[in-house]
Chain A
Amino acid sequence: MKPPAFQYQRAETADHAVALLAEFGEEARILAGGQSLVPLLNLRLANPSYLVDISKTPDLLAFEEVGAGLLVRASMRYCEAESNPIVRSRFPIIRDAIGMVGHDHIRNRGTVVGSLAHNDPAAEFPAVALVCEVTFKLRSTRGVREISAAEFIGSAYTTAAAADELVESVFFPARPSGTGEAIVEYARRPGDFAIAGIACRLGSNGQGLITECRLASFSCGPSAGRHKAAEASAIGQIGENSVFGEVGDLVADELSDIEAQPSPYRHRLVRYLVTESLRRAWHDAEPTN
């Protein structure tokens, strides 16, 4: 199908974009890469009266290192970060997550921040944002506010951003030394949305004990979410496969509890994904293991 009729405006600056949002309110949508929004338009699942195109807005392009962290602006495309040496070496979970997003064609146009603002329950980046504890910068004509990933990520396709707020950027803090991160998902074909996925971070005390654990699932419920009880169970334990498996059981049990029809297949899959992601994160935290 074809998109419904709408008015279209290219934003010259971030301020211009938020002025347009303030004027048109809930009938306006931000268009960045369009790889989620345009299919929704084509299917007539979205019917905004106004589109504010930020895909070429100069002050919303690209990313930059800020301190030891990474500031990802609203219109930065996946493909820009995918091959970047800084991202590859210091933020490998971003690189790995990007590699799981659709195909090259989608990554050549789609944006990290757009995926977060869309908050598809099956998308990788909401889970990555929760694990990396990123900070969202929201701008409107009323001002700028910064909120945490836990505050930003709502239920399916909803976020804490108000109708007049632009998600201007997302800040990924530097990963402390002695920590490792990983993202693992399973999809039946390359490029498909995952049946289930896990992103995690582990910290090591350098002597084989787990000092930090952050774990988020995606494509497992109404939204990406952390598993705090499972995380807490790992702290102080020895970083080994049996412990990772126990954490996997806790996460799989927790997710089974919220399913209308718990499936043994999903339970086993989630347990495997948790175990595997923790194993990889631990290897990343303690490369000698």
Chain B
Amino acid sequence: MMQNRRTDPPVNEEVEIRVTVNGRHFRHRVPTRLLLVDYIREVCGLLGTQAGCEQGVCGSCTVIVDGMAVRSCLVLAAQSDGEDIRTVEGLASEGLSALQRSFREHHALQCGFCIPGILMTAQTLLDSDAEPTDQRIRDAVSGHTCRCTGYEPIVDAIRAAARAEVEGSEAVL
């Protein structure tokens, strides 16, 4: 049987994974070839995470795995067994999060396709650095492509969200 497998391309191989997505526990059998981004979208039904370039360049598929921003198009769902995944849907609890409100206030999204990924990167930045410099913010979002080229308002929004958090104000507005 092994001999046959070596010559015939293996098909429909599946593997069982247990993951936590936005605090909910999931257990699924998934195809080995399924990318994490497609698992999130197609199996979990969470459509906020975008599949863009599918080669790790554009950053649209960025999610937070075990506290770190990663490209979900460069991770197999099979590899995510046991991991804690947070997507853009996990940012908001009641209404939008402070970071999301800041993006809205600063008109930081145009078509919006890239924003779920940028929000996840920005969230990990703010989690690790309460008062990031502009250079640090730019470094962080440099791994993202916004084809609307709306970068300045994005940096403004992240900076304002950090300041609002530091100043302890209730709203970013």
Contacts and interface: CB of A to CB of B under 8 A. Distances in A.
Interface of A: 1-8, 10, 23-24, 27, 31, 34-35, 38-39, 41-43, 49-51, 53, 55-56, 79, 102-106, 108-109, 189-191
B91 to A, nearest CB: 17
Nearest to B14: A8
Given A6-B13, A31-B79, A104-B140, A23 B2 contact: yes
A190 B139 contact: yes
Given A1-B54, A53-B76, 6 more contacts: A2-B38, A34-B74, A34-B76, A56-B82, A104-B69, A106-B143
Given A35-B56, A38-B75, A190-B139, A49 B32 contact: no
14 contacts: A1-B54, A2-B33, A3-B35, A5-B12, A6-B10, A7-B5, A39-B55, A42-B35, A42-B73, A50-B10, A104-B69, A104-B124, A105-B69, A106-B71
B143 A42 contact: no
Contacts of B142: 103, 189-191
B123 to A, nearest CB: 12
Nearest to B12: A5
A5 B74 contact: no
B70 interface: yes
B55 A105 contact: no
B62 A105 contact: yes
Contacts of A35: 56, 71, 74
Sorted nearest first, the 4 A-B pairs with minimum C-beta distance are A103-B143, A8-B32, A108-B68, A3-B33
Given A2-B54, A4-B33, A5-B11, A53 B78 contact: yes
B130 interface: no
Contact of A104 (B12, B13, B15, B143): B143
B40 to A, nearest CB: 14
Nearest to A109: B70
A43 B75 contact: no
Contacts of B71: 35, 105-106, 109
A254 B75 CA distance: 40
Output the residue of B10, B12, B31 with the most chain A CB within 10 A: B10
Interface string B47-80: 0000000111001001001001111011110110
A49 B54 CA distance: 21
A42 B69 contact: no
Nearest to B9: A5
Contacts, number: 109
B33 A105 contact: no
Interface of B: 2, 5-6, 9-13, 15, 31-33, 35, 38, 54-56, 59, 62, 65, 68-71, 73-76, 78-79, 81-82, 121, 124, 139-140, 142-143
A6 B10 CA distance: 5
Contacts of A56: 82
Contacts of A190: 139, 142
Contact of B13 (A5, A55, A103): A5
Nearest to A110: B74
Given A8-B13, A42-B35, A108-B69, A34 B62 contact: no
Contacts of A39: 55-56, 74
A71 B31 CA distance: 35
Nearest to B78: A8
Contact of B9 (A49, A53, A106): A49
Contacts of B32: 5-8, 51
Nearest to B31: A5
Contacts of B79: 31, 34, 53, 55
B33 A43 contact: no
A38 B69 contact: no
Nearest to A103: B143
A86 B71 CA distance: 28
Contacts of A189: 142
Output the residue of B5, B71, B82 with the most chain A CB within 10 A: B71
A23 B6 CA distance: 10
